[in-house]
C-alpha cells in the first residue's frame, strides 16, 4: 500500500457513515500518504496542463485540499465555492440536493469574470448535485467551464453523466461500485 500506483488502495471505506447504507469513501487516507497525494494531484491536472485556463474553482471542503494543489501546480488562481454563510463578501447562492441531505452553496459574486476559463475540482462525484450547483454558480458569474476533475466517481449514482449532459467534460481517476 505504501507504494501502490492504484489510487483506490489509498482510499479507505467507512460503512454506514454519515448514515446507515452509505459507504463513505474516505480520501483523508490518500491525502495523508505522500505518494498517494502526489499521484492524485498529478493525475488530476494532467489533461489540463497547456490548456487555456485562468482559475481553479473547488467545492468545500475536501475539494479545497486538491484544488489548492492543482491551482499551485498549474500556476492559476484559486476560487472557493463554500457552504452557506462562510464567505464574507457579497455572494451568488444555489440550493442543491445531496446524496444524504440538502444544502446551499455560495460563490463571491466578484470572484470570477466573464473572460475566466474555469476548471472545477472536487474529491468525489456521487449524485452530481454539488457539482451541478457549482456549475450554475460559475455560469451565473459569466465564466466558461473547461472541465471538472474528481478523484472518485460513484457510477451507480449517475453524477458523471448528469454533469456531462450539462456540457462539462468530466475527468475521474477511479470509481467504486455501489454507493
* Binding stretches for ligand AMP (CB under 6 A): 22-25, 59, 62, 98-99, 122-131, 159, 179
Q: Which of 43, 99, 117, 139 is catalytic?
A: 99
Q: Which is nearer to ligand AMP, 23 or 54 (CB)?
A: 23
Q: Which is nearer to ligand AMP, 39 or 126 (CB)?
A: 126
**CA–CA gap between residue 179 and residue 177 (Å, rounded):** 7
Smallest distance, ligand AMP to C-beta of residue 62, A: 5
35 is catalytic: no
Smallest distance, ligand AMP to C-beta of residue 117, A: 23
Q: Which is nearer to ligand AMP, 51 or 98 (CB)?
A: 98
Smallest distance, ligand AMP to C-beta of residue 69, A: 16
C-alpha distances in angstroms, 162 versus 58, 102, 104, 106?
18, 18, 19, 21
Q: Which of 25, 60, 62, 94 is catalytic?
A: 62
62 is catalytic: yes
User: Active-site residue numbers?
Assistant: 62, 99
Amino acid at each position: 500500500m505504501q507504494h501502490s500506483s492504484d489510487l483506490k488502495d489509498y482510499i479507505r471505506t467507512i460503512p454506514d457513515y454519515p448514515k446507515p447504507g452509505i459507504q463513505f469513501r474516505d480520501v483523508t487516507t490518500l491525502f495523508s500518504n505522500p505518494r498517494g497525494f502526489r499521484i492524485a494531484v498529478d493525475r488530476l491536472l494532467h489533461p489540463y496542463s497547456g490548456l487555456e485556463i485562468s482559475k481553479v474553482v473547488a467545492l468545500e471542503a475536501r475539494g479545497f485540499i486538491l484544488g489548492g494543489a492543482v491551482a499551485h501546480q498549474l500556476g492559476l488562481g484559486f476560487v472557493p465555492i463554500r457552504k452557506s454563510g462562510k464567505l464574507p463578501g457579497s455572494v451568488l447562492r444555489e440550493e442543491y440536493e445531496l446524496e444524504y441531505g440538502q444544502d446551499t452553496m455560495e460563490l463571491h459574486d466578484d470572484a470570477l469574470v466573464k473572460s475566466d476559463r474555469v476548471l472545477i475540482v472536487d474529491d468525489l462525484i456521487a449524485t452530481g448535485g454539488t457539482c451541478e450547483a457549482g456549475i450554475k454558480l460559475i455560469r451565473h458569474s459569466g465564466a466558461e467551464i473547461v472541465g471538472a476533475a474528481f478523484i472518485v466517481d460513484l457510477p451507480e449514482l449517475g453524477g458523471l453523466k448528469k454533469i456531462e449532459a450539462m456540457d462539462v467534460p468530466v475527468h475521474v481517476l477511479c470509481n467504486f461500485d455501489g454507493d
